[in-house]
């Protein structure tokens, strides 16, 4: 009923999943900073998430942990699970999962990343194949972006043979997210005609609100003057006579109003904040 990717990229762990099932994000994904990530699906056993994360935290390899929990489970033959830890990765598809079903689990040669991709009731193995290609092709992007790229590719390849309904992404990384609490992405589309596309839109919004500053330009000279003019249009005129410091203070006030404060950069302006400011104030494209 589901296709997913569980992955590690450096110190980041996460899961992306889609299904013809209501609120798949409430069932399948789990991750813990410094430990690993788990996706439990098919006839999902949600208890696998804390059980497997506890085993990973204790130092047990992913394949051994997965073998142990499924062997002790009377319904193990109906389960499908992907697990990634600090130095290990594994996927499991029980003999009673509904075809097409299967998965792959691999680590990069340099040890910097690992992924497990799995699915059941899919249109065919091409879903997993395309997800793997997309993951590999997206090298250089953040973990949430790479997870999403794989999910988009699986969806485009046909995904769940019964159709579409929900999708989710959950990722953790030290210092990421709102107040740098470590949640790099936590998004769910619970019931939608095109959930993966909607999830893509939401991840872009998430990164705008909670992402780190990027492409920062010094707030000085003509740029500072432009930013000051744009802020004045929006009712946040910089204090007279304070120069760039006044512009920066006015920018902070506006950013707090529209919830972009996570992207504030001392002495400069984030690329995406500048774009949003220009669009909101009605400035022509630069």
**Domain end: 181, 210, 239, which one?**
210
User: 7 and 126 share a domain?
Assistant: yes
CA distance 192 to 142: 26
pLDDT at 269: 97
Q: What pLDDT, in 10s, does the model give residues 258-268?
A: 999 999 999 99
Here the CATH number for the domain that contains residue 109 is 3.60.20.10
Please count the structural domains in the chain: 2
Same domain flag for 201 and 223: no
* Angstrom distances, CA of residue 177 to CA of 58, 183, 192: 26, 5, 25
* Domain-terminating residue out of 183, 210, 237: 210
Q: Cα separation of 283 and 263, whole Å?
A: 21
Instruction: Decide: helix, strand or coil at residue 3.
Output: strand
Whether residue 157 is found in the same domain as residue 197: yes
Of the candidate ranges 20-24, 171-175, 238-242, the one whose mean pLDDT is the lowest = 238-242
Per-residue pLDDT of 16-28, as tens digits, reads 999 999 999 999 9
> What global pTM score does this model have?
0.92
Q: List, for residues 78-111, the tens digit of each pLDDT value.
A: 999 999 999 999 999 999 999 999 999 999 999 9
Tell me: the pLDDT tens digits for 191-233?
999 999 999 999 999 999 999 899 999 999 999 999 999 999 9
Question: Maximum distance among all alpha carbons in the chain?
Answer: 74
Among the candidates 188, 210, 232, a domain finishes at: 210
Domain for residue 286, yes or no?
no
Give me the domain span that covers residue 122: 2-210
* % of the chain at pLDDT higher than 90: 94
223 and 193 housed in the same domain: no
The whole-angstrom distance between residue 44's C-alpha and the CA centroid of its chain comes to 21
- Do residues 80 and 52 lie in contact, with contact meaning Cβ atoms separated by under 8 Å? no
With cut-offs at 50, 70 and 90, classify the pLDDT of residue 285. Answer: low
Is the residue at 130 inside a domain?
Answer: yes
Cα 31–chain centre separation: 11
Start-to-end C-alpha separation, the chain:
47
Same-domain pairing of 154 and 60: yes
Query: Does residue 259 sit in the same domain as residue 176?
Result: no
């Amino acid at each position: 009923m589901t296709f997913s990717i569980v992955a590690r990229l450096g110190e980041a762990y996460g899961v992306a999943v889609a299904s013809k099932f209501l609120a798949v994000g409430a069932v399948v994904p789990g991750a813990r900073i410094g430990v690993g990530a788990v996706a439990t699906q098919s006839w999902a056993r949600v208890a696998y998430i804390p059980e497997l994360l506890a085993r990973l935290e204790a130092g047990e390899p992913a394949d051994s942990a997965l073998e142990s929990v499924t062997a002790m489970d009377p319904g193990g033959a109906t389960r499908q699970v992907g697990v990634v830890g600090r130095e290990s990765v594994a996927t499991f598809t029980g003999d009673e999962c509904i075809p097409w079903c299967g998965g792959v689990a691999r680590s990069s040669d340099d040890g910097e990343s690992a992924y497990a991709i799995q699915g059941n009731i899919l249109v065919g193995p091409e879903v997993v194949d395309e997800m793997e290609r997309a993951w590999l092709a997206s090298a250089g992007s953040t973990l949430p972006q790479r997870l999403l790229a794989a999910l988009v590719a699986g969806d485009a390849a046909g995904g769940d043979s019964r159709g579409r309904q929900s999708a989710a992404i959950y990722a953790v990384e030290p210092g990421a997210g709102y107040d740098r609490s470590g949640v790099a992405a936590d998004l769910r589309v619970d019931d939608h005609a095109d959930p993966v596309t909607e999830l893509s839109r939401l991840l872009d919004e998430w990164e705008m609100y909670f992402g780190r500053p990027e492409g920062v330009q010094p707030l000085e000279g003509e740029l500072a003057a432009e930013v000051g003019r744009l802020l004045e249009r929006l009712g946040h005129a910089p204090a007279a006579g304070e120069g760039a410091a006044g512009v920066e203070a006015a920018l902070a006030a506006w950013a707090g109003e529209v919830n972009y404060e996570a992207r504030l950069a001392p002495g400069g302006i984030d690329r995406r904040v500048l774009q949003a400011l220009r669009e909101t104030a009605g400035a022509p494209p630069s």
